[in-house]
Amino acid sequence: MGRFGVRHYCAIHRHIFGDVYRWAGCFRSVRIAKGASMFCYPEHIAAEMARIFDGLRNDGRLRDLPVDLFAARSARFLSELNAVHPFRDGNGRAQLAFFALLADHAGRTPKLRRLKAESFLAAMIESFHGREEKLIAEIECLIS
């Protein structure tokens, strides 16, 4: 299943996109943005990914948490991961796949058929700007 660290996350991206991009699973080396939102500069990606995943490990990989605390901590994790945006493409799909595995491992198997792509994406965008309430609600809907 993996250790839910940076290497595991990169392996998931490589698994999803390895037939499409030769750089799948490798951190990007170019600066990217969506609209006015600039993502982490490539020279800081490795350090930020280590920080984020160290936090996840220190949080016990979110195991044995009540629903509200699991949703809040996983929303924070996803929002920080999204702000780093370590790959040139496919970040959202890799994030969702990793989240589904992490939630399942934590005993909170997500019901992905409940996922509404537009509202989840809107919640992710809000979380990029420090507003995680909608993302927390989206996650609670998936795991309740």
Residue 1 counted as domain residue: no
- In this structure, which amino acid lies at residue 91? N
CB 65 within 8 A of CB 106: yes
What is the number of structural domains in the chain?
1
Domain that holds residue 101: 6-143
CB 121 within 8 A of CB 96: no
In this prediction the pTM is: 0.95
Per-residue pLDDT of the chain (144 residues; tens, 9 = 90+): 679 999 999 999 999 999 999 999 999 999 999 988 999 999 999 999 999 999 999 999 999 999 999 999 999 999 999 999 999 999 999 999 999 999 999 999 999 999 999 999 999 999 999 999 999 999 999 999
40-70 exposure pattern, b = at least 16 Cβ within 10 A, e = fewer: bebeebeebbeebbeebeebebbeebeeeeb
Residue 53 counted as domain residue: yes
Q: What is the largest CA-CA distance in the chain?
A: 40
Other Cβ atoms within 10 Å of 16 Cβ, number: 16
CATH number at 91 reads 1.10.3290.10
